[in-house]
Amino acid sequence: MRATTLEPVTQESKQPSAPKEIVSILLVDDQPGKLLAHEAILSELGQRIVKARTGVEALGHLLRYDFAVILLDVNMPNMDGFETAALIRQRPRFEKTPIIFITGYNTTDFDRLKGYELGAVDYMFLPVVPQVLKAKVSVFVELARQTQIIKSQASDLAAHNHRQAEQLEVIQKLNDELRDANSELEAFSYTVSHDLRAPLRGISGYAGVLLEDYGSCLDDEGRSHLLALDRAAKRMDALTRDLLAYGRVARETVVLAPVTLQPLLDAVISLNGSGSTPPANIVIEPDLLPVMGHVFLLEQCLGNLINNATKFVAAGVTPQVRIRTEARGGRVRIWIEDHGIGIDQAYHRKIFNMLERVGDLQRYEGTGIGLAIVHRAVQRMGGACGVESAPGQGSRFWIDLPSAPPSRALHHNGAS
């Protein structure tokens, strides 16, 4: 699979803390003294102050800065304040920029002010009262700063959303790749199970034919070689089958549903057949409690545990197996108990590992995968498993699973 980096989605706290945002104020006045005085008053606001002596110069500054507010002297030679304002307003960026006209107490000017959009414009009469000027300007400064913060937050948010969308896309792609890989694996497993096992069936089959049809032509050693050939092929077949089962247990999509155990056990036992000689005596206690499980995974668990229970007995002994359930709080413990050879406590954990065959068990047929399948399947169903056993005293394997509401588990859901 192609490697794709996946960065964690982090809330980048580029949150502009309000005091850091500096905005600009434009002062336009033809009298340097007044400019200086206003600058002195407004410098306390801690913002950038840009000064212009004429309307033309003011328009020049518009190219370089955004302004929170423009203080415009109405009475200027050549281009007066109103003319300048009209030109400022022509620029889309400054359509809404607040303008404070500084004017003498003059009715004509006052009338002309009315033509401007309310809110975007204010006026002050000369002489300017410092506190009033500062108060008015600071309102607009604050407004501009808030706008700026909102803007930068919006762009942060947009960038964040964009990153998130990109990561979603990456996740989506990974999911698709995973799904593809899974279905490839599924197809691969199927091919393996069919094509890899077919030749083994052939080897086993022809060994059997040789024994049956030509066995009399061979001496004991020749016949034992053929039997060994058959055993080897069958062992390889069992290994292949168990590895495939393990693989499937590991990647099966697991959705837990109520499962009634009795029919599942009947199916598992009939499938395994009377594998042991003499045939096992399997007792299933009535009224087994339903569990929350997954049919395929449970089949694998029960099949392997029952198979073990009937397999690991002393030669010639009829295997005795008892299956029962026990309520344990919100969980159900399924017990599979035998009277077999038992397991030394030292191995109780080890036996659930892959390909682990311990102590005396070496003498018995097996792949060493069965209990690994059980362990993995139980894990995938959110359960637990374990064993209580001692040599010569049989083994009591258990599986804990969430209990199912009895009413909903009335019918057995047929298959995985």
63 near other proteins (CB under 8 A): no
119 near other proteins (CB under 8 A): no
**DSSP letters of 290-346?**
PEEE-HHHHHHHHHHHHHHHHHSS-TTPPPEEEEEEEEETTEEEEEEEE-SS---GG
Kindly give, in sequence order, each residue whose CB lies less than 8 Å from that of residue 380, ignoring residues fewer than 6 positions away: 249, 250, 252, 254, 294, 297
Closest approach, Cβ 197 to other proteins, in A, equals 6
Region near other proteins per CB under 8 A, out of 193-201, 215-223, 255-263, 377-385: 193-201
* Strand 331-338, strand 395-402: pairing: antiparallel
Closest approach, Cβ 392 to other proteins, in A, equals 35
| Of 369, 233, 362, 365, the residue nearest 300 (C-alpha) | 369
Closest approach, Cβ 204 to other proteins, in A, equals 8
Q: What is the DSSP letter of 403?
A: B
Among 296, 386, 388, 412, binds other proteins (CB under 8 A): 296
d(CA 110, CA 105): 8
Residues in 223-242 that interact with other proteins by CB under 8 A: 241
Q: What is the DSSP letter of 195?
A: I
415 near other proteins (CB under 8 A): yes
255 near other proteins (CB under 8 A): no
263 near other proteins (CB under 8 A): no
Among 193, 262, 353, 413, binds other proteins (CB under 8 A): 193
Q: Which is nearer to other proteins, 64 or 194 (CB)?
A: 194
Among 202, 263, 275, 382, binds other proteins (CB under 8 A): 202
205 near other proteins (CB under 8 A): yes
Kindly give, in sequence order, each residue whose CB lies less than 8 Å from that of residue 183, ignoring residues fewer than 6 positions away: none
Identity at 165, one-letter amino acid code? A
Q: In what order do the strands lie in the sheet with 48-52?
A: 48-52, 24-28, 69-73, 99-103, 121-125
414 near other proteins (CB under 8 A): yes
Residue corresponding to tokens 């005795």? 320
Residues in 146-175 that interact with other proteins by CB under 8 A: none
412 near other proteins (CB under 8 A): no
Which residues contact other proteins by CB under 8 A?
Answer: 190, 193-194, 197-198, 201-202, 205-206, 209, 241, 244, 271, 296, 414-416
